[in-house]
A = this chain, B = another copy of it.
Amino acid sequence: MISVDAALAHLFSLTRPLGPETVPLREAAGRVLLHDAVARRDQPPFAASAMDGYAVQDAEVRPGARFTVVGEAAAGHRFDRAITPGEAVRIFTGAPIPDGADRIVIQEDVCVDGSSITLGDALDSKAYVRPAGADFRIGDRLPAPRTLTPQDIALLASMNIAEVVVSRRPVVALISTGDELVLPGEDPGPDQIIASNTFGLHALLTSAGARARILPIARDTRDHLKQVFALAADADLIVTIGGASVGDHDLVGDVAQSLGMEQSFYRIAMRPGKPLMAGRMGDAAMVGLPGNPVSAMVCGRIFLVPLIRAMLTLPAEPAPRETARLTAPLGPNGRREHYMRATVGPEGISSFDRQDSALLSVLQQANALLVRAVNDPAREAGEEVEFIRL
């Protein structure tokens, strides 16, 4: 048996970062920026007023001072000459500061009388001038790679960037295998169950940035498996579910090998989980997950999401772990890393009593996988443990 980290390292070696594509800024949120974005201008591009008020010369500002209002500067509309001593320009937030002015007196501190203003007795001491380039300057960079947030998008827009170069989204083909499966909405026979793994993985991998596609259920014959594999020809990653262990009815490995896959089996020291199959098939990486619903989803979180991130040019690293305090004691762990279904909240983390890997109803209630290291000793309530958020 190999460790989870070793298995993940093998999987990373099967993939490579995908190429770039250019998308309009309004479709870029959540995508992975691949080339540094470079500001095409200074922001603000001119010294700008931070408030509504009057632009004057700072040296003239004192309580009771009078000024003649000679014009107006609004956002988008500059006052078109320099001001001289005794002059003020009515100004609005965001407007360019007139030449000659270096102070905004806010309108709350001013008494207006026709075309004159008189300053009040208690003046706000701030200048309320935003210098040119105070936010960013031409050539400033938003460094790649990074997953673009709404705040990134706002900054990129203000840098005058209309299109960005992002990583192409990995195309993932999801194939569930087994005569026992029917699709949701179909009428299962007495020995059949509903295919759930492809649906759960579709949602999981889509949220990780993949373009996932559910292929038809592959029946337990070589011919039908080959037909379904043929539908995955455009995929960057082929994921099969079920049929990949060592049972007599597990054809997937055989068929994949006959299609040219260089195949490895990993017996991974983890719970839940079963042997994981992996290799390369043509231009695609292929991963065979166990058919057990909870195992498939946990393997999806532990292996496939990091794999998708690596293909998106994000760092090739395991799912991030956080820590929380146990709300109840835990017994010792055995020889496999255990990913226990758990709930985490402000009060700490607690694992579910029922850890059977067939129970989707338990996984559904979980929001975390509590990670027990190999041979981790018994733990008391209040001890800090690691978890992976679901």
Contacts and interface: CB of A to CB of B under 8 A. Distances in A.
Interface of A: 25-26, 28-30, 41, 43-46, 48, 50, 52, 74-78, 90, 92-96, 130, 134-136, 140, 142, 148-163, 178-181, 183-186, 188-197, 199-204, 206-207, 214, 220, 242, 245-249, 291-293, 297, 300, 356, 358-361, 363-364, 366, 390
A169 to B, nearest CB: 16
A69 B148 CA distance: 60
Given A193-B45, A194-B158, A363-B155, A150 B297 contact: yes
Contact of A364 (B75, B142, B242, B245): B142
A150 B291 contact: no
Contact of A150 (B160, B184, B185, B200): B200
Nearest to A29: B203
Contacts of A160: 184-186, 188, 194
B77 A179 contact: yes
Copies of this chain, tallied across the complex: 2
- The prevalent SS among residues of A at the interface is loop
Contact of A30 (B95, B154, B159, B207): B207
A161 B184 contact: yes
A50 B358 CA distance: 8
A367 to B, nearest CB: 8
A366 B249 CA distance: 53
A30 B204 CA distance: 10
Contacts of A74: 179-180, 220, 249
Given A44-B193, A160-B194, A153 B358 contact: no
B94 A153 contact: no
